[in-house]
Structure 1
């Protein structure tokens, strides 16, 4: 079996399993990063399947990532959420990391809200800020599209000029203004991890245009755009990046700050899915 036919077979099996668990696909998918999985607690009539029950979905090994797919209604709108994700630094290939999102798109979602916890590089960002992602820097050295192209998913050379949908960002900005949220906007840099960045690396990232840095999101965005889905990216600034603060960063700190912004995140995402 060729690489392409293998992926297509795996996606077909995943779609069949998703349909048997949840029925018809909603149009909107959510990817919830570190400390943000509690958004699913606000779903109406939730139905859940652990990643271990879904073919091609790898159970998460990172604390703060629930590791389950949850379908339900948010603000009356049908959605499905990946409560937790996989990362390159866990030892997975880029193709394995993006497989769940590819499966959701193959199932039928066409718009994706992708969230993450990130370190603030720009002087305009402080702990607890929410930042709309306007663009990204792929600093991981990896790309989920490497290898033979799957033509049924998308073109060999997908355009990334508008990786983060301008219309969706505009809707998010209007929701932020209406709700009194001080939404920031900037460029997200994705590093391989799992070590946090050094001060020198943070200085470099700032000089080449990054406003925030993390260890996720970019592979998923590339795969989603390859497949034609619209993407809105949202970072929760959980800490100042190395060299911007004298404090030693821990993952517990990241989870604590992410938890502190859950009300604002819930409001923003809830209003977003209604607007999409």
Structure 2
């Protein structure tokens, strides 16, 4: 696996000839953020050695190198999920590659279901913590010491300085924003009302099917991590609204202008 990671990183490095300031991973329906990047190189996943292919509507299949707010960006338009049938090792493969490329800062985005009664559809939430309920751990197995330690400190999974800068950008632009705890489940089913109730009882504000494996692996490699989430549906033990992937994409689309403003503010002002 380490050889594959290095091979992929070498392929990308030979093309972009630089070390990006940020890696950005776009979640469901958040692809419009890529329109804000001034592209220099666009690589199709299918053309990158060892890179998997995304199979989910709303997830593109391109790695975009360019600039955003004067910073160098390497952006994944579309991520990989455990529910697609990929191993955790494959799900987090791009994050490993980013580290070998020398990238220190990772910005993640996702769509999630809200269980906090203060949330509304299309609200934006900055992750301050998470609860990992995925059935497989991305660090299970022999540890690769070259990438990070066997046991990983998770006392600050989401970088507090990044959160503060993003909050400031939201405040300056009159954007309502929350901080919340994200719980990760395997998917691909949306949750039942009882499951939403369980998630709330466990202390989470929202639930999704991604992100956490990427965060764990990024922290394993000592990267600074930030994640922004769009609430695309609401649930609870007494709520039984039907939800579809199309509705998720529509809600994400509605929130996009605010997401773009917050992310651009963070990128511009984070050293």
Distance (Å, rounded) in 1 between the aligned partners of 2:115 and 2:238:
7
Q: What is the aligned partner in structure 2 of residue 134 from structure 1?
A: 128
Aligned pairs for 1:9-48 (under 5 A) are: 9-48=3-42
Distance (Å, rounded) in 1 between the aligned partners of 2:184 and 2:44:
26
Distance (Å, rounded) in 2 between the aligned partners of 1:142 and 1:182:
34
Distance (Å, rounded) in 2 between the aligned partners of 1:242 and 1:69:
37
1:256 aligns to 2:256 (yes or no): no
Query: Which consecutive residues of structure 1, in runs of 5 or more, have no partner in the other structure?
Result: 1-6
- Match of 1:261, SS state, is helix
Distance (Å, rounded) in 1 between the aligned partners of 2:118 and 2:88:
32
Q: What is the aligned partner in structure 1 of residue 143 from structure 2?
A: 149
1:113 aligns to 2:107 (yes or no): yes
Query: Which consecutive residues of structure 2, in runs of 5 or more, have no partner in the other structure?
Result: none
Q: Aligned pair in 2 of structure 1 residues 206, 69: CA closer, same or farther (>3 Å)?
A: same
> Does the 8 A contact of 1:121 with 1:241 survive in 2?
yes
Q: What is the aligned partner in structure 2 of residue 3 from structure 1?
A: none
TM norm structure 2: 0.97
Deviation at 1:244, TM superposition (A): 6.1
Aligned pairs for 1:189-204 (under 5 A) are: 189-204=183-198
Distance (Å, rounded) in 2 between the aligned partners of 1:94 and 1:65:
18
1:188 aligns to 2:182 (yes or no): yes
1:226 aligns to 2:220 (yes or no): yes
Q: What is the aligned partner in structure 1 of residue 44 from structure 2?
A: 50
Deviation at 1:241, TM superposition (A): 2.7
Q: What is the aligned partner in structure 2 of residue 4 from structure 1?
A: none
Deviation at 1:45, TM superposition (A): 3.2
Aligned residues: CA RMSD: 1.2
Q: Aligned pair in 2 of structure 1 residues 248, 16: CA closer, same or farther (>3 Å)?
A: same
Distance (Å, rounded) in 2 between the aligned partners of 1:240 and 1:99:
31
Q: Alignment partner for residue 99 of structure 1, among 93, 100, 113?
A: 93
Deviation at 1:56, TM superposition (A): 2.5
Q: Alignment partner for residue 178 of structure 1, among 157, 172, 175?
A: 172
Q: What is the aligned partner in structure 2 of residue 163 from structure 1?
A: 157
> Does the 8 A contact of 2:25 with 2:79 survive in 1?
yes
Deviation at 1:97, TM superposition (A): 0.1
Residues 67-104 of structure 1: per-residue CA shift (max 9 Å, x gap): 11111111222111111101000011111100011101
Distance (Å, rounded) in 2 between the aligned partners of 1:273 and 1:191:
29
Distance (Å, rounded) in 2 between the aligned partners of 1:17 and 1:76:
24
- Match of 1:35, SS state, is coil
> Does the 8 A contact of 2:8 with 2:50 survive in 1?
yes
Q: What is the aligned partner in structure 1 of residue 209 from structure 2?
A: 215
TM norm structure 1: 0.95
Q: What is the aligned partner in structure 2 of residue 67 from structure 1?
A: 61
Distance (Å, rounded) in 2 between the aligned partners of 1:10 and 1:45:
26
